[in-house]
Copies of this chain bind each other. A is one copy, B any other.
Amino acid sequence: MSRTLGVLISGRGSNLQVILDAIDEGRLDAYVAIVISNKNDAPGLERARKAGATTAVLSHEDYDSREAFDEAVLGRLSEHDVEVVCLAGFMRILSPVLVRAFPNRILNIHPSLLPAFVGLHAQKQAVEHGVKVSGCTVHLVDEELDHGPILLQQTVPVLEDDTEETLSARILEQEHKLYTEAIRLVLDGKVRVDGRRAIIET
């Protein structure tokens, strides 16, 4: 693999920063070829520019269908020879156009122990449900929300006095480590997928 990454964002892109930092500090041997945002005011675009990464804004509102938007994204990713796509707070469900173009090479990180607490505000869901342990999950992306084969999971305790904010902060620390590790495993060809199970070859 050429180890080129494409990163898709919609907002502040804190996990984009994680990837950029890991590369900068030599902990991840990869290259961010392009950062694409579907929102032109995403603060993550500025992070990308500061790190010298190429950026593009493709607003989904400019396209008639999910597929047409995904075709445009795919075009940009292909122009930059992207091998692995990392979602970093990208608020769109992918269509088969993108999923099939990158089989088992699109990653997402979610701030819960999936399949618990799918969707938005996973940390708030966890606090309100009263779980005693939560965490984060890196998974391969399929056409369902927060659903594809799970690569890595890290547990985080939920404390009696946790709020959404304090739990989010504790989980975020672990997200940083976990996403870097998962991207490395995919780039190194250590992931085999069998049905909905991702097997890590060690």
Interface residue? A101 (CB, 8 A): no
Q: Are A131 and B114 in contact, CB atoms less than 8 angstroms apart?
A: yes
Q: How far is the CA of A31 from the CA of B132 in the complex (A)?
A: 28
Please judge, given known A-B contacts A160-B199, A200-B160, whether A115 and B129 are in contact too, CB under 8 Å: yes
Q: Are B132 and A150 in contact, CB atoms less than 8 angstroms apart?
A: yes
Interface residue? A89 (CB, 8 A): no
Q: Are A153 and B130 in contact, CB atoms less than 8 angstroms apart?
A: no
Please judge, given known A-B contacts A115-B116, A116-B115, A160-B199, whether A155 and B130 are in contact too, CB under 8 Å: no
Residue count of chain A within 8 Å CB distance of chain B: 25
Q: How far is the CB of A134 from chain B (nearest CB, A)?
A: 9
How many copies of the chain does the oligomer comprise? 2
Q: Are B150 and A130 in contact, CB atoms less than 8 angstroms apart?
A: yes
Q: How far is the CA of A63 from the CA of B68 in the complex (A)?
A: 60
Q: How far is the CB of A162 from chain B (nearest CB, A)?
A: 10
Q: Are B199 and A128 in contact, CB atoms less than 8 angstroms apart?
A: no
Q: How far is the CB of A91 from chain B (nearest CB, A)?
A: 24
Q: Are A149 and B130 in contact, CB atoms less than 8 angstroms apart?
A: yes
Q: How far is the CA of A150 from the CA of B152 in the complex (A)?
A: 25
Residues of B within 8 A of A151 (CB): 132
Residues of B within 8 A of A8 (CB): none
Q: How far is the CA of A117 from the CA of B155 in the complex (A)?
A: 17
10 example contacts (A-B, Cβ-Cβ < 8 A) are as follows: A113-B113, A113-B131, A113-B133, A114-B116, A115-B117, A115-B129, A130-B150, A132-B152, A132-B153, A155-B155
Given contacts A113-B133, A114-B131, A133-B153, 9 further A-B contacts (CB under 8 A): A113-B116, A113-B131, A114-B116, A128-B196, A129-B196, A130-B149, A130-B195, A130-B197, A160-B200
